[in-house]
Amino acid sequence: MPNWFTVERLDKNTFAISEYAHWEEPHCYLLLGSERAALIDTGLGVADIRAVVDALTALPVCVLTTHAHWDHIGGHGHFEDIAIHALEADWLSGRFPLSLEAVKANLMRGNCALPEGFSIDDYRVFQGTPKRVLRDGDRIDLGGRVLTAIHTPGHSPGHCCFYEAERGDLYAGDLIYRGCLDAFYPTTEPVEFARSVRRVRGLRVRRVLPGHHGLDVSPEMIGRVAEAFDELEGRGRLRHGEGIFDFGEFRIHL
């Protein structure tokens, strides 16, 4: 079902593969090196993302997981070479912190017309064993392109951004995007989320590639998100249960 996906060529060797028809509007990113390719996240899992990837490259593909939430690992089952941070490796092997019923309810929320042939009764959250366990600072060499895994916990314990220093590209997962930044789940940690944003603010970022919604995220937004967390912390509100705070181009849900 490749037509479910929107493919946008960001540069000669980089593609965004998006699911705009769903309310989550998740993005995956395919990066081509000279020796292999990396697919950052695999989306909802309601259509075959492998068919899209295979149409774009014949290179061997490794999957780099920003974090193990259901909307980022849905297509993992189509791949064998999967990497994830050590703190969430067990989420892929039966310890996913949300029930299948809750995942299905989130997936079906809203008026989304899912692809023809998709059956919610058959939907399962991916389970498997990662080929590589990532830690902060690990490098992924694609041949002519090198990514660094940056552990950015807060949205989830093992959340990672992937940074391509030579290009100044930050694949931000759910750390930075236009929408509601979620730090209210039991497995989130608002103080760590703020610390992670401050950390990536110190990088030389030319382009932010978000995990959801619009692709037009400026590097300056990192600073604005950091300032928002600073403000909430200064007001004593950086903790679970405080509600949703609107900062215009983004919100923070605590």
Q: For residue 2, is pLDDT > 60?
A: no
Q: How far is CA 199 from the centre of its chain?
A: 17
Whole-angstrom distance, CA of residue 115 vs CA of residue 51: 14
Name the amino acid, one letter, at 119: S
pLDDT tens, residue by residue, 144-167: 999 999 999 999 999 999 999 999
User: What pLDDT is stored for residue 46 in this prediction?
Assistant: 97
Residue partners of 103: CB distance under 8 A and separation at least 6: 70, 123, 125
Return phi, psi of residue 62, to 5°: -105, 140
Q: Give the pLDDT band (50/70/90) at residue 122.
A: very high
**What CATH number is given to the structural domain containing 25?**
3.60.15.10
- Give the domain range for residue 241: 2-253
pLDDT tens, residue by residue, 94-114: 788 889 999 999 999 987 889
User: What pLDDT is stored for residue 98 in this prediction?
Assistant: 87
Count of domains in the chain? Answer: 1
- Whether this prediction's pTM lies above 0.95 is answered by yes
User: What pLDDT is stored for residue 1 in this prediction?
Assistant: 44
Residue 48 token pair: 């075959």
User: What pLDDT is stored for residue 140 in this prediction?
Assistant: 98
